[in-house]
Structures are given as structure tokens and as C-alpha cells.
């Protein structure tokens, strides 16, 4: 491997995956779902999710600097499944997620109901599709496969 220039990424050439959304697409249209529909979410999603635990800061109130740290269960260019945290109260709620120095707005798509396998989890959908806060992690995983 050649010598790196200053400010050059430490991630190997990932040009094959320059369009993360396209690389992960399965061609099936998606739809935000709530309640019991969350059980069939995987069959409607328009892209694959990767099972990667990525630490993120969650800002449940856009008007406050209060945040909580958690890990993702799954990530994709357009959303994630994360741990339910204090302050995430309703479907449709707008929150911020931050990974390193990248922050984006997300909408709560579903909240896991008690006595279900999704209890204690939240599905979020990006409101800024061009701002993939975990793009490095996704590209690295795609390169491995």
C-alpha cells in the first residue's frame, strides 16, 4: 500500500461502493410502519440492514443539548434500529443521532411494544438521506463481503 497524503482517508479505496444507498438496495419499496406492523418491517424495507453495533449519541429533544449514548442493533444508509432511550416517546418524533462528528435528523418509525421481541428498541428513519452518519462502517462491511 502506498504512502498516504495528509488529510487522506485511512479507509482503503472503497470507490466500488461510492453510492452506499445503491449498494445496499434490494429493490423493494419501503414504508414506515408502527405497532404490530413492525413485525413485518424486513419484508418491506428497500435496503438491507447490517447487524453492526455502532455507538451513537441520541438527542431526543431537538431544543436541548441533553443526550444519551447507546449502540445500534442494525444500520442502513436510511435508518437504524437502536435501544429505546428516555425521551423517545412517540412514533413520528424527530431526534438527532450523532456518530463521531456527523449528526443527522431521524424520525422515529416504530417503538417496540412490551412483550414483543422489539421491546426496548426503536426504529428510526433518516430525514437527511444524503447524510449517512455511519457510511464508513457500511462501506467497510461491504468491502469485507
Specify the pLDDT at position 5. Answer: 44
In a domain, residue 23? The reply is: yes
User: Among the listed ranges 33-47, 91-105, 110-124, which one has the minimum average pLDDT value?
Assistant: 33-47
In a domain, residue 59? The reply is: yes
Give the count of domains, the chain. Answer: 1
In a domain, residue 127? The reply is: yes
Give tens-digit pLDDT for 18-65. Answer: 554 555 555 444 334 344 333 333 444 567 889 999 999 999 998 989
From the list 79, 66, 64, 63, the residue with the least C-alpha distance to 121 is 79
In a domain, residue 112? The reply is: yes
In a domain, residue 10? The reply is: no
pLDDT at 6 over 80: no
Confidence of residue 17 (pLDDT cuts 50, 70, 90): very low
In a domain, residue 86? The reply is: yes
Specify the pLDDT at position 45. Answer: 53
Is the CB of residue 118 less than 8 Å from the CB of residue 110? yes
In a domain, residue 1? The reply is: no
The residue range of the domain holding 38 is 18-144
CA angle centred on 5, ends 8 and 17, rounded to 5°: 35
In a domain, residue 4? The reply is: no
Cell matching residue 88: 423517545
pLDDT at 9 over 50: no
Give tens-digit pLDDT for 70-97. Answer: 999 999 999 999 999 999 999 999 999 9
Confidence of residue 133 (pLDDT cuts 50, 70, 90): very high
Helix or strand or coil: residue 57? strand
**Model-level pTM greater than 0.85?**
no
CATH number for the domain harbouring residue 58 = 2.40.10.220
From the list 15, 16, 20, 77, the residue with the least C-alpha distance to 45 is 77
Amino acid at each position: 500500500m502506498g504512502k498516504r497524503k495528509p488529510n487522506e482517508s485511512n479507509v482503503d479505496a472503497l470507490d466500488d461502493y461510492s453510492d452506499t444507498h445503491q449498494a445496499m438496495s434490494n429493490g423493494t419499496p419501503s414504508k414506515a410502519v408502527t405497532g404490530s406492523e413492525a413485525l413485518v418491517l424486513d419484508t418491506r424495507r428497500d435496503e438491507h440492514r447490517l447487524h453492526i453495533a455502532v455507538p451513537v449519541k441520541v438527542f431526543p429533544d431537538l431544543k436541548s443539548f441533553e443526550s444519551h449514548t447507546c449502540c445500534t442493533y442494525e444500520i442502513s444508509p436510511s435508518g437504524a434500529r437502536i435501544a429505546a432511550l428516555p425521551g423517545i416517546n412517540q412514533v413520528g418524533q424527530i431526534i438527532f443521532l450523532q456518530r463521531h462528528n456527523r449528526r443527522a435528523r431521524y424520525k422515529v418509525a416504530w417503538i417496540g411494544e412490551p412483550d414483543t421481541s422489539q421491546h426496548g428498541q426503536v426504529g428510526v428513519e433518516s430525514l437527511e438521506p444524503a447524510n449517512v452518519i455511519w457510511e464508513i462502517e457500511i462501506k467497510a462491511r461491504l468491502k469485507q463481503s
